Amino acid sequence: MRLVKTLAFVTLAAVLAVACGKGPAQAALTSADAAVSATRADGEKYVPAEFKALEGAAAAAHSKFDSGDYKGALEGAQAVSTQAQTVVAAAAAKKTEIMESWKALEGSLPTMLAGIEKKVTELSTARKLPAGLDKAGLESARAALATATATWAEAGTAFSAGDVATAVAKATEVKTSAEALMTQLGMAPAASPEAAATPVAEPVKK
């Protein structure tokens, strides 16, 4: 009888221990899931690899909970909540970087494209094309300019829709194409804002 009571007591203690561990683990998992959800929008958009790792960590914590490892689930869930903060910070930094890139491209590309268009128009009516450029090359440049202009419009549409990453990717493509066209047409490269702002030193008078 004493052995039966002892076993019953041990069993009850184990059940209580499990129950006590299950509650905190469940609460921690709920908090972790909320953290993942709050991170999803910017995480998927700006730091997809980091966000995927975060989702994996959350899934692992749930798996431990389902297998009865409530201590492991609790620790895993707590780590997910901390990791989510890191992902939020990384996404914010990446978003700022991308926005700065967009501002720079938005400030320079329209001028570049307008200059190329003006040059193409001038060459179209010129009696003689510059060395290294023939009519076929000029037509190729005209077609490339049309494509670049269309891509720039797509970049603007993407930015207006809130897809800044796609906008920057398309704008960067336009920049590469525009620089190649300027070289092909014999145009001088556009001076950077920093270079334009740097005063030229006057020669020393003897």
Given this model, what pLDDT does residue 189 score? 66
Low-confidence residues of the chain: pLDDT under 70: 1-20, 189-206
Q: Please, which residues have CB within 8 angstroms of residue 90's CB and are 6 or more apart in sequence?
A: 46, 47, 50
CA atoms of 61 and 7, how far apart (whole Å): 32
Given this model, what pLDDT does residue 85 score? 96
DSSP string, 54-81: HHHHHHHHHHHHHTT-HHHHHHHHHHHH
Q: First and final CA of the chain: distance in angstroms?
A: 116
Measuring CA to CA, how many Å separate 80 from each of 13, 61, 187?
Answer: 30, 8, 54
Given this model, what pLDDT does residue 57 score? 97
Q: Please, which residues have CB within 8 angstroms of residue 80's CB and are 6 or more apart in sequence?
A: 32, 35, 36, 54, 57, 58, 61
Given this model, what pLDDT does residue 117 score? 96
Given this model, what pLDDT does residue 21 score? 79
CA atoms of 84 and 88, how far apart (whole Å): 6
